[in-house]
Each structure stands twice: as structure tokens, then as C-alpha cells.
Amino acid sequence: MAKPERGLGRGLDALFSVEQSVGENQVSEIEIKLIRPRKNQPRKYFDPELLQELSDSIKERGVLQPILLRPHEKGYEIVAGERRWRAAKMAGLKAIPALVREMGDAEVAEISLIENLQRDDLSIIEEALAYKNMIEEFDYRQDILSQKIGKSRVHISNTMRLLSLPQEVIKLLEGKQLTPGHARALLRLDNDAAQIKAARKIAMGKLTVRQTEHLIRFDEKEAGKTNGIMAEDADLQERLQKHLGSKVKFKRGRQGGTIEISYFNEEDLERILEIVGLDNIH
């Protein structure tokens, strides 16, 4: 079966439209006990309070939008709509309206990710892990994934870079003690200990992203002093780091010097090349 052409625009509205209830888009009532969630579903956390609100709404009005399933073993696997399925179970429903389609693993992963992105259901780490899974499991390049889901390659790369943060920082981010803006600022620090120390300060002091950037700028300048970096070089280094979203180091000699730009992997290198206008050199 052909995969979605590209972007978020055409995908789920067409897939879920009850009006297109012919052929493979026929809406059926499927027994809830025959349905299982997908093991690699991008969304890992379901807010209990919001789930209860949806369950109460289902009790009153029913399930207004069918979920999407594919045949799996002796029953069905959820492609999109796990939250509605969970809420329907809580509401005591025995069956739920669903579209059933034959789909391969890659298409299932695409649609599941797209649905969650459209509904803004994923945490930033869940989103990053979903991108990582698509690239590693289905051998997608970031530019292809960008076309599939309608997110820029730079966004995908920058989001995945958050996975390089220490686990303590990731837990603070998942616990909403840090925002994605805080986390992106922490990436400018070049070691785990510095990132953890700064993250604790941010969480305890409830610092804004702007305050965090000032904190990290101060730490970088202090590090610059110990490394003999001139003030004007430290300022330029800071501006380059903010522009490139990567660690930058200056090494000045008697005549000239070097600028060192760090990158995490080949995809991150492509992101930097794209920023500086050299994305077509390969």
C-alpha cells in the first residue's frame, strides 16, 4: 500500500472521515477486548485527569471519531486513537467505532507519529524518541522523515539532540520542571556535570529561559577566562553557538586562529551545513 505522500496536511482528515465509509474506509464496531495498543506507540504518558474527562464525555455523547486499527494476530492493533480507546474502556463501552486497514509497520509508525504531532499530544522527549525510532528502525534519512511528517529537518535534528542530555536532565524535562527552551540552552554546555548543575539551578530557582541563557552565558564566559579566551572572542563564540545551535570553540594564535564547531552525528553535521548554506556539497 502506498505511503502518505508528504506532510501533515492530507493524512488523518482523510483517514478518519466518516463520510468516506466505503470500501476499506468502512466504519465498523469492534469489540474493545479484541484491540491492543501498539508496543512502539510514540505517546507513553496519558494524563489521568484528561483521560477521565474524555471518558465522561464518551459516556454522555459516545465516541465521535473512529479510531484506526490494523489486523494483528487474533485481534487488532491500534494505529491511531489509543487515548479514545482507553477512555472508552473506562466508560464501560464493549465496542468502539473503528476503521480497519491493512498497513505495513513503516506506514503504521508514520501515521501514529503524525496523529500525535497534529494533536500536540507528545512530550518533547517522546517526540525525539519517535524520530529516533523512525530513523533507526525504518532507515529513514532526516530529510525523508521531514517530508513525511511536515517538520523541518532542522527541527527534527534539534529535537533529537535533546536525547544526548544526561538522564537527570531528561527526567526534569519530562517532569515539566524544565521546558524545551531550557533544555536547548543546556546543550551549549559541553559536559554532563555542567548540564546537570545548571539544570538543578533552573529547576530550583524556577528560572525563565532568558534567565537560563544568561546563566549559561556567564558559565561560558567564566570558562573562557580560564582558557584565555578574549572577551570579544567569547562574545562572538556565544553568538555563533546561538546561531548554529552547537558548541563552538575559539583558538587564537599569533596570526589567525581556528573556530571549532562540534556536531553529534552525520545528520547534525547536515543540519549545520544547511544553516551555513552548504547543504548541497555532498
> pLDDT tens digit string along 187-205?
888 789 989 999 999 999 9
Beta bridge partners of 78: 69
Give the burial class of 143: count Cβ atoms within 10 A of its Cβ; 0-12 exposed, 13-18 middle, 19 or more buried.
middle
82 tagged catalytic: yes
Reference 115, options 82, 159, 73; nearest CA is 82
pTM of the predicted structure, to 2 decimals: 0.63
pLDDT tens readout for residues 11-62: 444 444 433 443 456 888 999 999 999 887 777 778 888 889 989 999 999 9
Q: What is the DSSP letter of 40?
A: T
- At 207 the three-state DSSP class reads coil
Q: Which of residues 254 and 17 earns the better pLDDT score? A: 254
Sign for the CA dihedral angle at 126, 44, 64, 95 comes to: positive
C-alpha cell at 224: 573562557
C-alpha cell at 222: 567564566
- Is the pLDDT at 226 greater than 80, yes or no? no
CA-CA-CA-CA dihedral for 71, 127, 132, 246, to nearest 10 = 170
Q: End-to-end distance of the chain based on CA atoms, in angstroms?
A: 32
Give the total residue count for the chain.
Answer: 282
Q: Residue 230's pLDDT band (boundaries 50, 70, 90)? A: low
Reference 125, options 93, 166, 97; nearest CA is 166
Domains recognised in the chain with CATH numbers: 11-122 (3.90.1530.30), 158-275 (1.10.10)
Sign for the CA dihedral angle at 158, 159, 163, 169 comes to: positive
- Is the pLDDT at 229 greater than 60, yes or no? no
Give every CB contact of residue 221 below 8 A, 6+ residues apart in sequence.
231, 234, 238
Q: Compute φ and ψ for 256, nearest 5 degrees.
A: 75, -160
Angle between helices 124-138 and 142-149 (to 10 degrees): 120
CA distance 54 to 256: 63
Q: How many helices (H) and strands (E) does the chain have?
A: 13, 7
- Is the pLDDT at 89 greater than 90, yes or no? yes
Percent of the chain with pLDDT over 70: 82
Percent of the chain with pLDDT over 90: 27
DSSP-assigned letters across all residues of 115-178: HHHHTT-S-HHHHHHHHHHHHHHH---HHHHHHHHT--HHHHHHHHHGGGS-HHHHHHHHTTSS
C-alpha cell at 95: 465496542
Question: What would the 3-class secondary structure string for 222-273 be?
Answer: HHHHHCCCCHHHHHHHHHHHHHHCCCEEEEECCCCEEEEECCCCHHHHHHHH
List the catalytic residue out of 77, 82, 220, 274.
82
Give every CB contact of residue 245 below 8 A, 6+ residues apart in sequence.
158, 161, 184, 187, 271, 275
